[in-house]
Chains A and B, each alone.
Chain A
């Protein structure tokens, strides 16, 4: 199972050193970030914040496919309330059936996942995975 993190959530988890722990705890859960999120995380790295290195160490960077890029371009015009990284992450998740994990309520409100009207939230994603792991699933 793949979970894509947006910039905000990836940053938050990295700062509290949760990312590496999550990977260890939840075998079978692959964490990823969209390329636009990767670029956003390069900015704090340039300003001597080192938490992005923790994100890059455990998250695979995913590049949008050509057809996804068309969708992203359209959404840049149609969904002006969201950032580029969020739009790219949401588009990749929807196209490939992956989970989208975020903090931002606005971003999550505009996302629908396979009949579930809410994506994984900061509070929801990892407690849920933990709960399922504890049940041996």
Chain B
């Protein structure tokens, strides 16, 4: 059977997600929104393509925000590119 309680819980959780795929999507979106996973990883966890997940997020009114570039970041990136011979 199962060697210990933790393994049992682990297997039960996996079985639940397999039987209730909608929970995978909810969980993956929650992880993404909390910053615990990247967008690409969230799509993988859902078992969807990135385009499909974008549609689901858009349908729910969830928009992806890209923070503005700070001057320091710009200068850092410019310096890295300069060193690389861009």
Interface of chain B, main secondary structure: helix
Interface size on A, residues (CB 8 A): 43
Q: Which residues of A contact B76 (CB under 8 A)?
A: 116, 118
Across the interface, do B85 and A40 meet the contact criterion of CB distance under 8 Å? Answer: no
Question: Total contacts A to B, CB within 8 angstroms?
Answer: 111
Given contacts A83-B40, A85-B40, A106-B38, contact A123 B81 (CB under 8 A): no
8 A Cβ contacts from B70-86 to A: 73-74, 76-82, 84-86
Q: Which residues of A contact B4 (CB under 8 A)?
A: none
Name the interface size band of chain B: 20 to 34
A83-B40, A106-B37, A132-B86 given; name 20 further pairs at CB < 8 Å: A8-B39, A11-B50, A26-B86, A43-B49, A49-B51, A80-B37, A81-B36, A82-B40, A83-B44, A99-B80, A103-B39, A113-B80, A121-B69, A121-B73, A123-B68, A125-B77, A128-B78, A128-B81, A129-B81, A137-B86
